């Protein structure tokens, strides 16, 4: 056991903190699942292309990953969303 862990010591958490934490964990898992599905769709539409574009904006690009794999990387600096209404 790690020296910074006190064996068999418990702490009581308030209900709101527990609810917020568990809800956030569940939301993250859902969002990660949705993100994987969207990445698959984008990669499928990209075929062998390096860049995914929309109205002159780079949305994402394919890059080498481990081995022979390819990964999709979002363009976090894309200005595309500024012109899109929610």
User: For residues 38 and 41, what is the distance between their CA atoms, to the nearest angstrom?
Assistant: 5
Per-residue pLDDT tens digits for 38-65: 999 999 999 999 999 998 999 999 999 8
What is residue 22's predicted lDDT score, i.e. its pLDDT? 98
Cβ-proximal residues to 49 (8 Å cutoff; 6+ apart), any chain: 62
Q: Average pLDDT of 1-6? A: 90
Residue 70, token pair as written in the block: 């390819």
> 6 lies in a domain?
no
Q: Average pLDDT of 18-26? A: 98
Tell me if residue 23 falls in helix, strand or coil.
helix
Tell me if residue 26 falls in helix, strand or coil.
helix
Number of domains in the chain: 1
> 27 lies in a domain?
yes
> 45 lies in a domain?
yes
> 58 lies in a domain?
yes
> 52 lies in a domain?
yes
> 61 lies in a domain?
yes
Q: Where are the alpha helices (DSSP H) in 1-86?
A: 15-46
Tell me if residue 4 falls in helix, strand or coil.
coil
Domain that holds residue 49: 15-80
Per-residue pLDDT tens digits for 61-83: 999 988 888 999 999 887 776 76
């Amino acid at each position: 056991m790690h020296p910074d862990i006190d064996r068999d010591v418990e702490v009581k958490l308030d209900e709101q903190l527990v609810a917020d934490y568990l809800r956030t964990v569940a939301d993250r898992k859902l969002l990660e699942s949705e993100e994987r599905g969207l990445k698959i769709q984008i990669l499928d539409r990209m075929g062998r292309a390096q860049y995914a574009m929309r109205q002159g904006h780079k949305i994402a690009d394919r890059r080498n990953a481990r081995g022979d794999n390819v990964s999709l990387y979002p363009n976090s600096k894309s200005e595309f969303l500024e012109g899109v209404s929610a």
